[in-house]
Chain A
């Protein structure tokens, strides 16, 4: 097991996981792999919660969903994740009014291998902390934030960090003396 959380600057670990993408019959499931994260164009925000069917989670997940267009405008895909199975995810999405219209996939880390490699598995119950990762189009972790099990997070803050990571960097007028020149 990883000792501590995967640090900023690391390559996001390889994975292949089942996801729930819809509640429509026959279209419920898909698969997500590391290749979907490092396509050279999209950024990724992956946020984790401890358990499906608990109280703080749906509020938080619905808030991410409400900001879906803000993420899309920033060329960023949202991925929600927990260690529950894809069948539990689906049942929860069908069961809870706030989750029926979700626009992003819920990832099922049933074997807990990804949470373990990310270093976000709580030791006692072996469930994920409320961790949020921003991953750039090359698959490099650029921001990590981890809340203890009961603390919800602020979606606006995630967007603010994303803006800070994405803006300004391309304009030659932001070159500092001595920096390598940009090749765009």
Chain B
């Protein structure tokens, strides 16, 4: 039974059948029912009432890049392209994931320590890609928020959540993006 579910999960993720993952093997050998739950969750976050399939795939790409997961990077890049993302758009999402990983470290430090001095000292991080994103400001902010949620920077999460809303996004879009980030973060512990 589990073999069938694993095959279907790997097919869903466009992974070759020779693929090997130690955590997946452990689940398989222990006949864990978690594989079914994982497959259901992964399939469910590929579609949303509030995000297009392309947007779902691009958020997936950002989370896979942030998590340095080779298998999932490849999958979500292919999927993004398949759903109509241009090279400029996928490049922007990859850049966004990298930049936000940077900011998350810096601002998280500030909010953890809570000393005025560190707020006064200059950040000196160049972030010109935030100016005129090809994907539009609202979606760029949404991807920024999803990455920040994974990297657990409270200051970034609060700021980008407000920013998405200011640019016309909705709480429904936000929560669907966060769910994608959550599920893919979990997935990458098993498929890597």
A: residues with CB less than 8 A from B are 69-70, 72-75, 163
Residues of chain A with a CB closer than 8 A to B43's CB? 70
How many B residues, CB 8 Å from partner? 10
Q: Nearest B residue to A166 by beta-carbon distance?
A: B40
From 88 to 121 in chain B, residues with beta carbon under 8 angstroms from any chain A beta carbon are none
**What are some 16 contacts across the A-B interface (CB < 8 A)?**
A69-B8, A70-B40, A70-B43, A72-B5, A72-B36, A73-B5, A73-B36, A73-B37, A73-B39, A73-B40, A74-B36, A74-B40, A75-B33, A75-B36, A163-B40, A163-B44
Residues of chain B with a CB closer than 8 A to A70's CB? 40, 43
Chain A contact residues: helix, strand, loop or mixed: helix
Output the least CB separation between A72 and chain B (Å).
8
Residues of chain B with a CB closer than 8 A to A69's CB? 4-5, 8
B: residues with CB less than 8 A from A are 4-5, 8, 33, 36-37, 39-40, 43-44
Residues of chain A with a CB closer than 8 A to B36's CB? 72-75
Bound CA–CA A163/B33 (angstroms): 16
Residues of chain A with a CB closer than 8 A to B37's CB? 73
Residues of chain A with a CB closer than 8 A to B4's CB? 69
6 nearest A-B pairs in the assembled complex, by CB-CB distance: A73-B36, A73-B40, A73-B39, A69-B8, A74-B40, A73-B5
Bound CA–CA A153/B47 (angstroms): 20
Residues of chain B with a CB closer than 8 A to A74's CB? 36, 40
Output the least CB separation between B191 and chain A (Å).
16
Known: A70-B40, A72-B5. 16 other contacts (CB 8 A): A69-B4, A69-B5, A69-B8, A70-B43, A72-B36, A73-B5, A73-B36, A73-B37, A73-B39, A73-B40, A74-B36, A74-B40, A75-B33, A75-B36, A163-B40, A163-B44
Q: Nearest A residue to B33 by beta-carbon distance?
A: A75
Residues of chain B with a CB closer than 8 A to A73's CB? 5, 36-37, 39-40
Output the least CB separation between B61 and chain A (Å).
25
Output the least CB separation between B3 and chain A (Å).
13
Output the least CB separation between B184 and chain A (Å).
17
Residues of chain A with a CB closer than 8 A to B5's CB? 69, 72-73
Bound CA–CA A163/B40 (angstroms): 9
Bound CA–CA A20/B56 (angstroms): 41
Residues of chain A with a CB closer than 8 A to B8's CB? 69
